[in-house]
Amino acid sequence: MKALPPAYLTGGIEPPLGTKDMGSFTRKVYTPEQQARLSVSENGKKIKKNTRTDWSNHLFELAFTNFDENNDGTVTAEEFCDFANTLGGLGHMTNEQVSIMIAAVDLNNDGVLQVGEFKVLMKSVLADKADKADNDFFLEHFLTKRQAREFLVKKGNSANA
């Protein structure tokens, strides 16, 4: 049985952007942002999505739109602080604190968060609130009342389908 070439070589998926040190060589791997966006493992194998993960991702994407005050598709340290300090349930944060947090997940080193990086950051920030991160905590602290209502209606309809 012959091994098939990776899907990114045959045009089935974008190429991996990360590298992994294997000791005597490095190999290409999918970054955390690509893994979240493409639903693949580090090695590019498709990961079967479950409904819980899909809803969790939807919550993160809704929250991202609220943090992105100027709607440019990125969240700066200032935008993150403004939202977190005004409405979010993360406690008071400074731009310096948020800049350090962003640097830890900023895969392309542009100093701002894209949606995939935002998801990684929020998952780590909310790790101590794991039971609530998927639903109540997000609905209460990161979504508008209208978004929360719409989310619950959509989730309820898909659960009944």
pLDDT tens track for 107-161: 889 999 999 888 888 877 776 554 444 456 666 666 777 777 777 776 665 554 4
Domain of residue 119, residue span: 51-156
Rounded Cα–Cα distance for residues 104 and 106 (Å):
6
Domain C-terminal end among 28, 48, 68: 48
For residue 81, the model assigns a pLDDT of 87
Same domain, 36 and 90: no
16 touches 28 (CB < 8 A): yes
Two structure tokens written together for 3: 């091994």
pLDDT tens track for 71-97: 999 999 999 888 877 765 667 778 888
Number of domains in the chain: 2
Length of the chain counted residue by residue: 161
pLDDT, mean of residues 60-68: 86
Rounded Cα–Cα distance for residues 149 and 147 (Å):
5
Find, among 77, 37, 79, the residue nearest to 60 by Cα: 37
* Residue 129 lies inside a defined structural domain of this protein: yes
For residue 97, the model assigns a pLDDT of 87
Two structure tokens written together for 68: 């992105």
* Residue 161 lies inside a defined structural domain of this protein: no
For residue 70, the model assigns a pLDDT of 92
pLDDT, mean of residues 51-77: 81
Two structure tokens written together for 12: 């089935």
39 half-sphere exposure, CB direction, 13 A CA radius: 8
